[in-house]
């Protein structure tokens, strides 16, 4: 079997899909991250697919991943999402050709159920209760919400109080029956992250996410030393090499690799397996389209340390 062609589709609201076509009439689909650099990602996908995939055997996934990844200037979000989308399309071809779900090729099922959460925004106290109730009515037992708007390096405690109010109304309404993940979204610098994390601890968050920007990851340890709340990060990291310092530091409790950015299905499986050896849980990041979600589920099902 050989790859003979590919097509790339830009689909609103923010999706980029790639279709790899083989000479045996089996096609595979992948998804790339869209957003502020959509045209750059699409142009790069054409270049990499033409250079590395046309005429190649789609079953040689590890070989093709290494060739696509190992440019002189490697890594980064643009190359990372291109390689990821093309890699998951290769797995789709292989699974279809062999007639099995991809998770069977990753070691088989490690679980029969997966806990999930739903995003509820989090900007207004009146809205969070309504949105949380809507998710509970749909069967969700966990939600995730924004913690705050962008904060200056040292900011007003009034803004901290506004965050506390939004979380407090959820605890008052639902008690501890509702699991609440709180995402700082990299909007907070170290001085205010310390304050905010400490103030939120009494509400028993499921986790605090991206308490500081990934480029300031040395401060994860500072926050971890202050609170008992699990800390999560990883959606903006790519490949297992991007996670090395996180594992070595030991401050993060939950890693969140994104299958459309970190290098694809097998790379995410490797990252999560590395996390298991450091006694870390995984909650893969999957906010995009249906193809990325389907790819994420293949890894979730086959990984014993995925908790949500």
Q: What is the 3-state secondary structure (H, E, C) of 147-165?
A: CCCCCCCCCCHHHHHHHHH
**Residue 189 catalytic?**
no
Spot the catalytic one: 152, 185, 189, 204.
185
pLDDT score for 124: 64
Per-residue pLDDT band for 126 (boundaries 50, 70, 90) equals low
H-helix or E-strand spanning residue 93: helix 77-98
Q: Does the predicted TM-score (pTM) go above 0.85?
A: yes
DSSP SS3 for 181: strand
Per-residue pLDDT band for 149 (boundaries 50, 70, 90) equals confident
| Phi, psi dihedral angles at 105 (to 5 degrees) | -85, -10
Residue with tokens 């949105």: 131
Whether the bond between 213 and the residue before it is cis, its omega within 30 degrees of 0, is no
41 exposed, middle or buried (CB, 10 Å; 0-12, 13-18, 19+)?
A: buried
* Token pair in block for residue 117: 């959460």
What mean pLDDT comes out for the span 13-25?
95
Share of residues in the chain with pLDDT > 70 (%) = 99
pLDDT score for 256: 97
Per-residue pLDDT band for 123 (boundaries 50, 70, 90) equals low
Spot the catalytic one: 152, 189, 204, 285.
285
* Token pair in block for residue 52: 């590395």
Distance, in Å, from the CA atom of 197 to the CA atom of 114, rounded to the nearest integer, reads 27
pLDDT score for 291: 97
**Residue 285 catalytic?**
yes
pLDDT score for 125: 61
Residues 6+ apart with CB under 8 A from 202: none
């Amino acid at each position: 079997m050989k790859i003979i062609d590919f097509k790339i589709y830009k689909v609103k609201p923010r999706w980029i899909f790639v279709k790899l076509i083989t000479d045996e009439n089996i096609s595979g689909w992948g998804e790339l991250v869209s957003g502020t650099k959509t045209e750059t990602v699409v142009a790069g996908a054409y270049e990499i697919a033409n250079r590395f995939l046309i005429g190649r055997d789609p079953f040689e996934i590890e070989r093709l991943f290494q060739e696509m990844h190992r440019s002189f200037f490697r890594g980064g979000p643009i190359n990372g999402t291109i390689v990821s989308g093309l890699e998951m399309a290769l797995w789709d071809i292989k699974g279809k050709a062999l007639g099995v779900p991809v998770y069977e090729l990753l070691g088989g099922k490690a679980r029969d159920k997966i806990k999930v959460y739903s995003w509820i925004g989090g900007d207004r106290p009146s809205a969070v209760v309504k949105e949380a109730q809507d998710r509970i009515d749909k069967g969700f037992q966990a939600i995730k919400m924004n913690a705050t708007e962008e904060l200056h390096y040292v900011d007003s405690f009034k803004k901290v109080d506004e965050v506390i109010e939004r979380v407090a109304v959820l605890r008052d309404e639902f008690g501890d029956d509702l699991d609440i993940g709180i995402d700082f979204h990299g909007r907070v610098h170290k001085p205010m992250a310390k304050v905010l994390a400490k103030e939120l601890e009494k509400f028993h968050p499921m986790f605090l996410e991206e308490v500081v920007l990934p480029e300031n990851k040395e401060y994860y340890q500072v926050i971890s030393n202050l609170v008992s709340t699990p800390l999560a990060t990883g959606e903006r990291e790519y490949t297992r090499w991007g996670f090395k310092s996180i594992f070595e530091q030991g401050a993060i409790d939950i890693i969140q690799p994104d299958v459309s950015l970190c290098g694809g299905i097998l790379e995410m499986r490797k990252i999560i397996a590395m996390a298991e050896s450091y006694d870390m849980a995984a909650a893969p990041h999957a906010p995009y389209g249906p193809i990325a979600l389907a790819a994420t589920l293949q890894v979730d099902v086959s990984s014993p340390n995925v908790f949500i």
